[in-house]
Amino acid sequence: MLSFPLDRPLDFVCIGRANIDLYAIERGASLKDTTGFVKNVGGSPTNIAVAMSRLGLKVGLISAVSDDQLGHFVLDYLKNHQIDTQFISIDDTGNTRTSIAFAEVKPENCDVLFYRKNASDLNISPADINEEYIQSAKAIVISGTALSANPSREAMFIAMSYARENDTIIFLDLDYRATAWQDDSAGETYARAVELADVIIGNREEFEIIAFPKGIKKETDMANHLFGFRAKIIIVKYGVRGSQAYYADGKIVDTKIFPVEVLKPYGAGDAFAGALGFALLKNQGLEESLQMASAAGAIVVARESCTEAMPTLAEIQAFRSNYQKINEKN
């Protein structure tokens, strides 16, 4: 069972990428054919931070942006959503840029094109990680993309080290994107990271990236191996098949998705992680936490954008209540 240090001012600190999302204005159009885009703030740890803030948690974000209009757009957005930005670095050297993601709005076969050369968030350095700030949070969320290159990679391990030393819970969202890795170090890097995490979240393909010892292939074997370190909860996501959670005490919980009319597939995982963290912190229990997380993901894929789509607690409760009423009628 997770034991959060409750006497701390911040609930979560999310660490990693903050970027600009540009969504195609035409639904169903390819990037090649779209005529314009709608600008928003994105990036997996940023999306998770907004999801948690929408649910009423006190959240901080550690990241980096460029000292230009796009970087300041990100900062203003986060401040307006009550997210603490004091440890978001502003790079005024001109050597990096806030990255951009161009996204199609399709229910499937949806392309997202990243422009991340010299991305500001990958230049988070160990010096940017403040131990007192990590100590001020009940939990941190590490995004796997931040492990893809240095100095960000070592900064993440410094953050996890500080968290371990100060009894701060560590959530690791594997968030593997092949295009982010310029070498073949992903497997060993993830193997190092999972040894430090309390809660590990990823889809089946992402777990396969981890360099497990030979012979470990099944989910149960993976989970049992990880429970030999710090992990207490392992969650494997299967898309439309739902998710499966493993508890350190041997309990396994299967959770189905809430069927909705999908507008676009992205954002669900971040909503899932945000609602899961909220529910676990509120001591809702694993099954209830997974139900809340699944509902949050369903809400987001039926809405436009990611950050703006993140639901409030009242919206999650209403969604689940309506779903239950429909099922009872049928």
Among 140, 153, 146, 226, smallest CA distance to 191 is for 226
Encoded tokens for 234:
């392992």
What is the model's pLDDT at position 330? 59
Considering the domain boundaries, does residue 35 fall inside one?
A: no
Contact indicator for 243, 237 with CB cutoff of 8 Å: yes
Quickly tell me which residue has 């990679």 as its tokens. Answer: 153
Among 248, 184, 174, smallest CA distance to 205 is for 174
Considering the domain boundaries, does residue 295 fall inside one?
A: yes
What is the model's pLDDT at position 324? 81
Which segments in the chain show pLDDT lower than 50?
none
What is the model's pLDDT at position 182? 87
Residue 151: is the preceding peptide bond cis (ω within 30°)?
Answer: yes
Considering the domain boundaries, does residue 32 fall inside one?
A: no
Among 294, 221, 226, smallest CA distance to 254 is for 294
Among 76, 57, 52, 54, smallest CA distance to 65 is for 76
pLDDT digits (tens, 9 = 90+) for 47-56: 999 999 999 9
Coil, helix or strand for 16?
coil
Considering the domain boundaries, does residue 213 fall inside one?
A: yes
Cα 197 from Cα 234, distance rounded (Å): 10
Contact indicator for 210, 194 with CB cutoff of 8 Å: yes
Contact indicator for 203, 239 with CB cutoff of 8 Å: yes
Considering the domain boundaries, does residue 1 fall inside one?
A: no
| Bridging pattern class, strands 243-247 and 252-255 | antiparallel
What is the model's pLDDT at position 323? 84
Coil, helix or strand for 283?
coil
Considering the domain boundaries, does residue 27 fall inside one?
A: no
What is the model's pLDDT at position 239? 87
How far is residue 259 from each of residues 51, 203, 241, 301, 302, measured CA to CA in Å?
20, 19, 11, 10, 10
> Which residue range is the domain that position 266 belongs to?
10-17+44-93+121-329
Considering the domain boundaries, does residue 162 fall inside one?
A: yes
**CA-only gyration radius of the chain, Å:** 19
Considering the domain boundaries, does residue 235 fall inside one?
A: yes
Q: What is the CATH number of the domain that holds 57?
A: 3.40.1190.20
Distance of CA 257 to the CA centre of its chain: 18
Number of domains in the chain: 1
